[in-house]
């Protein structure tokens, strides 16, 4: 398993730890308490005016701008990458005092076959290319095929790999098997950072989500991610709270910072604010950076840009004025 210190972030990459059932065996999550906690996120504090604009610009920098459709073409991905490089219109940035700051999204996320296109278009920037792998979204292929997919995507130029876990291992309590699986994925990723998708909507309980989060971090995950975006239930605040508290516990135990990525169903700027508030309250400002927090989103950026235009002009524009790509 490779380890390094990220020169852009300064924090040491998660090395993982030996499999230890005692680290998660006694976890029990009180769903009612979790839901009460997350229900207050939008009521205890209000982010308005210039502060809201600043938070939304922060959200832009943390978006994994994503296109995972069956009709994706090189042309679509080229436009996606152009939007990643210039996510907010220049006239809005000038009015916000952000012209010339080099604002861009956290990454561009595509299928394997479109990695070369994204890498070529993003050449000369610091925007990483992420690729989904390991039989995304269901993960129902052989382990040999999963490892090969990772290796091919890394060889094609992806610097981040979004892998999916085998959900049956969680549902049957095969925690040692899950650990070995994720550890093998991390080994195959090499220097590429690994985001581990739990597909939380298919894990049955919040207790299972908490345990799976810990096991994946033990195995060396750089990020833990809620969903593929293709389950019936994707990112929710209760699930996110459980996962970020697992991250906090892991950090307090090991000293390694692990990132968090909610994905699926986050399409509105006001939703993005709720997740930013959650991260700030539970993990602190150190996690409000793209190296430790990402949104997996395709439609979110358009609504954020629309809200920023409202802040600048006082008027809401039609959504078609802010296409994703």
Contacts 24+ apart (CB under 8 A), 142-149: 143/181, 143/184, 146/185, 147/184, 147/185, 147/188, 149/112
Does residue 15 lie within any of the structural domains? no
pLDDT category at 150 given cuts 50, 70, 90 is very high
Q: What mean pLDDT do residues 227-242 have?
A: 96
d(CA 123, CA 112): 17
The CA radius of gyration of the chain, in Å to the nearest whole number, is 19
d(CA 297, CA 106): 11
Question: Residue 292 has what DSSP assignment?
Answer: T
The pLDDT assigned to 231 comes to 93
Q: Is 79 helix (H, G, I), strand (E, B) or coil?
A: helix
Does residue 167 lie within any of the structural domains? yes
The pLDDT assigned to 11 comes to 86
Higher-confidence residue of 291 and 8: namely: 291
Higher-confidence residue of 323 and 34: namely: 34
Does residue 9 lie within any of the structural domains? no
Angle, nearest 10°, between helix axes 237-254 and 269-282?
30
Does residue 11 lie within any of the structural domains? no
Does residue 1 lie within any of the structural domains? no
Q: What mean pLDDT do residues 18-47 have?
A: 92
Q: Is 309 helix (H, G, I), strand (E, B) or coil?
A: helix
Which of 32-46, 95-109, 116-130, 156-170 comes out lowest in average pLDDT?
Answer: 32-46
The pLDDT assigned to 3 comes to 43
The pLDDT assigned to 6 comes to 44
Please report which residue ranges of the chain form alpha helices under DSSP H: 31-39, 49-61, 74-85, 90-95, 115-121, 143-156, 167-171, 175-189, 206-218, 237-254, 269-282, 300-313
Name every residue whose Cβ is closer than 8 Å to that of residue 313 and which is 6 or more positions away in sequence: none
Q: How many domains does the chain have?
A: 1
Which pTM value belongs to this model?
A: 0.94
d(CA 305, CA 174): 44
Higher-confidence residue of 84 and 47: namely: 84
Phi, psi at residue 42, to the nearest 5°? -90, 0
Nearest-5° angle of CA 146, CA 150, CA 152?
A: 115
User: pLDDT tens across 190-209, in order?
Assistant: 999 999 999 999 999 999 99
Q: Are 295 and 109 in contact (CB under 8 A)?
A: no
Q: Which residues are catalytic?
A: 162, 225, 261
Domain of 63, in residue numbers: 21-321
Does residue 71 lie within any of the structural domains? yes
Does residue 221 lie within any of the structural domains? yes
Nearest residue to 300 (alpha-carbon basis) of 310, 291, 288, 308: 308
pLDDT of residue 5 exceeding 50: no
Q: Is 109 helix (H, G, I), strand (E, B) or coil?
A: strand
pLDDT of residue 1 exceeding 60: no
User: pLDDT tens across 300-321, in order?
Assistant: 999 999 999 999 999 888 777 7
CATH of the domain at 96: 3.20.20.70
The pLDDT assigned to 47 comes to 86
The share of the chain scoring above pLDDT 90, in percent, equals 90
Nearest-5° angle of CA 247, CA 248, CA 250?
A: 65
The pLDDT assigned to 151 comes to 98
What's the chain's average pLDDT?
94
Does residue 249 lie within any of the structural domains? yes
Q: What is the DSSP string of 117-169?
A: HHHHHTTTSSPPEEEE-SSTTTT-S-HHHHHHHHHHHHHHT-SEEEEE--HHH
């Amino acid at each position: 398993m490779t380890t390094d210190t990220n020169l852009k972030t300064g924090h040491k990459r998660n090395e993982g730890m030996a499999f230890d059932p005692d680290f998660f065996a006694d976890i029990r999550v009180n769903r009612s308490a979790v839901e009460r906690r997350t229900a207050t996120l939008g009521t205890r504090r209000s982010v308005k005016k210039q502060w809201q604009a600043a938070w939304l610009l922060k959200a832009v920098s943390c978006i994994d701008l994503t296109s995972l459709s069956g009709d994706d073409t090189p042309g679509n991905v080229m436009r996606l990458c152009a939007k990643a490089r210039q996510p907010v219109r220049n006239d809005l940035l000038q009015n916000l005092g952000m012209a010339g700051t080099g604002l861009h999204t956290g990454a561009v996320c595509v299928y394997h076959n479109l990695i070369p296109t994204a890498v070529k278009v993003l050449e000369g920037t610091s925007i990483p290319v992420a690729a989904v792998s390991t039989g995304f979204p269901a993960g129902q292929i052989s382990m040999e095929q999963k490892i090969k997919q990772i290796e091919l995507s890394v060889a094609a130029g992806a610097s981040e790999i979004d892998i999916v876990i085998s959900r049956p291992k969680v549902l049957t309590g095969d925690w040692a098997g899950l650990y070995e699986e994720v550890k093998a994925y991390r080994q195959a990723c090499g220097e590429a950072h690994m985001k581990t998708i739990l597909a939380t909507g298919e894990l049955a309980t919040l207790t299972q989500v908490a345990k799976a989060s810990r096991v994946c971090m033990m195995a060396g995950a750089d990020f833990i991610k809620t969903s593929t975006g293709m389950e019936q239930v994707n990112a929710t605040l209760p699930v996110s709270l459980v996962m970020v508290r697992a991250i906090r516990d892991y950090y307090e135990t090991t000293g390694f910072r692990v990132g968090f990525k909610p994905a699926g169903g986050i399409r509105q700027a006001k939703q993005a604010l709720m997740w930013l508030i959650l991260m700030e309250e539970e993990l602190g400002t150190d996690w409000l950076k793209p190296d430790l927090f990402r949104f997996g989103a395709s439609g979110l950026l358009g609504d954020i840009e629309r809200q920023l235009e409202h802040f600048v002009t006082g008027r809401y524009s039609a959504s078609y004025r802010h296409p994703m790509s």
